[in-house]
Chain A
Amino acid sequence: GQNIDQPTEMTATEGAIVQINCTYQTSGFNGLFWYQQHAGEAPTFLSYNVLDGLEEKGRFSSFLSRSKGYSYLLLKELQMKDSASYLCAVLDSNYQLIWGAGTKLIIKP
């Protein structure tokens, strides 16, 4: 079966750095997405990786290793507004998105 694993919850301190991991086992791979979802709101797009390596976008970076079936989202200089759930999703060989259950990130002052 297809599976996306993320930690259920993480806690970090304002101003610090946090890494949210995502491992996947899917039938084929055509890219990996990260979305941010604040409580009670819609998910919003953060990043898309299809090649190995690190993609940096401001305070957020996303890394992909296709051989390891692994990705992480790195958030730097954490702000209180970064408290949200972070969703990892993989595009499989049929171009269907398989979603992880999300990681709830709690930021403490």
Chain B
Amino acid sequence: DAEITQSPRHKITETGRQVTLACHQTWNHNNMFWYRQDLGHGLRLIHYSYGVQDTNKGEVSDGYSVSRSNTEDLPLTLESAASSQTSVYFCASSDGLDPNTGELFFGEGSRLTVL
């Protein structure tokens, strides 16, 4: 069965360290997204990609970067982790001609704690 997997599922790091969260999907979807979810807030878009070599900034992109070298993977990198980046991170993918009306398939989430 096709799926979308994230790793690590849990990570504790220190302020200033570089952290990379992996996202791998076997749906063969062109569209991939990274969100963060914090208590009291809706899901907030960090970065997204509509295909290989395409990346775009979302509403909360500061301090984060992504790269898309193949269809399956969209790793999210925190260049210098800050305590404000403690959150649960979700990767998602979608199919369809219109990348934004298709159903989103989410990974199980990565809980990141920055001390």
Q: Which parts of A11-57 form the interface with B (CB within 8 Å)? A: 30-31, 35, 40-45, 48, 50
Pick from B12-20, B67-75, B104-112 the stretch touching chain A: B104-112
Contact assessment for A42 and B42 in the assembled complex, using a CB-CB cutoff below 8 Å: no
- Excluding A48-B101, A48-B103, A89-B43, 8 further A-B contacts by CB distance (< 8 Å) are A41-B108, A41-B109, A43-B90, A45-B105, A91-B101, A96-B59, A97-B45, A97-B104
Chain A residues with CB under 8 Å of chain B are 4, 30-31, 35, 40-45, 48, 50, 87, 89, 91, 95-102
Q: By the criterion of a CB under 8 Å from any partner CB, how many residues of chain B are at the interface? A: 19
Contact assessment for A4 and B42 in the assembled complex, using a CB-CB cutoff below 8 Å: yes
Chain B residues with CB under 8 Å of chain A are 40-45, 59, 90, 98-101, 103-109
Nearest 5 A-B pairs (CB), nearest first? A99-B42, A95-B100, A42-B106, A99-B43, A45-B103
Given A30-B100, A91-B100, answer yes or no on A101-B90 (Cβ-Cβ < 8 Å): no
For residue B59, which residue of chain A has the nearest CB? A96
Option from B42, B45, B99, B103 in Cβ contact (under 8 Å) with A101: B42
Min distance, Cβ A15 to any Cβ of chain B, angstroms = 29
Residues of chain B within 8 A (CB-CB) of A97 are: 43, 45, 100, 104
Min distance, Cβ B50 to any Cβ of chain A, angstroms = 11
Residues of chain A within 8 A (CB-CB) of B45 are: 96-97
Residues of chain A within 8 A (CB-CB) of B106 are: 42-44
Residues of chain B within 8 A (CB-CB) of A41 are: 108-109
